[in-house]
Amino acid sequence: MKFLVDFFPIVLFFIAYKFGDIYLATVTAIVASAIQVIWSRISHGRFEKMPLITLATILVLGGATLIFRNELFIKWKPTALYWVLALAFLLSQFIGQKPLIQRMLEQNIGLPNRIWQQLNLSWILFFTALGFLNLYIIYHFDTDTWVNFKLFGTLGLTFVFVILQGLYMAKHHQPVIEKEGSDNGRT
């Protein structure tokens, strides 16, 4: 369900573009991202990092698109976001005791440390490659193709990547060792 909520602004962007233009789609994505952040705050009692990062990115690049009437800014937004995520995963290799992917999943999945490192590296490479692929689409295809890629291409590639990650994790899965006095939400 959370995966679908994360794609809410992208789907609305796509619909607004198909019924309007890139500028209407940009306004729609900004509003949808703001709603997503507010909904996250109301439903979870806190702001989640990813929707906040997405909102900040779309406010800056979407705002530039609207102010300068130049669609190139909004087209760069996915690349900027992917590269920020790649950098976050990269920095987690050196800051803190665990890579980011391990911090996100270790309560539910037990894996050896080297596998966590490999998974983290694969996310770095995935987000970096996705950023470059977005740039390739921007500069070699028209806006219609880019909008279709933004929804269907990135969604499809992310889905396939997550499935491959899941298969790789299943191959190396170890039982999760629960800390004494912690039920990790289990009964």
Domain boundaries, the chain: 1-70, 71-176
107 has a pLDDT exceeding 80:
yes
Beta carbons within 10 angstroms of residue 28's beta carbon:
20
> What are the two backbone dihedrals, phi and then psi, of residue 110, each rounded to the nearest 5 degrees?
-100, 125
* pLDDT confidence bin for 69, thresholds 50/70/90: very high
182 has a pLDDT exceeding 60:
no
> What are the two backbone dihedrals, phi and then psi, of residue 9, each rounded to the nearest 5 degrees?
-65, -35
Residues 6+ away with beta carbon under 8 Å from 114: none
Q: Count CA within 13 A, CB hemisphere, residue 167.
A: 6
Q: Which residue has the higher pLDDT, 52 or 2?
A: 52
Tell me the per-residue pLDDT of 157-172, one tens digit each, with 9 for 90 and over.
Answer: 999 999 999 999 999 9
Tell me the per-residue pLDDT of 75-85, one tens digit each, with 9 for 90 and over.
Answer: 999 999 999 99
* pLDDT confidence bin for 184, thresholds 50/70/90: very low
53 has a pLDDT exceeding 50:
yes
pTM comes to 0.88
pLDDT (0 to 100) of residue 1: 53
Kindly report the CA angle at 166 between 99 and 101, in degrees rounded to 5? 10
Beta carbons within 10 angstroms of residue 10's beta carbon:
19
Q: Which residue has the higher pLDDT, 2 or 150?
A: 150
Mean per-residue pLDDT over the chain, rounded? 91
Yes or no: say if 40 and 48 are a contact pair by the CB < 8 Å rule.
yes
Q: In 3D, which of 34, 61, 28, 60 has the Cα closest to residue 47?
A: 34
Beta carbons within 10 angstroms of residue 27's beta carbon:
15
The radius of gyration computed from the CA coordinates of the chain, to the nearest angstrom, equals 18
pLDDT (0 to 100) of residue 174: 80
CA distance readout (Å), 86 to 37, 91, 177: 22, 9, 29
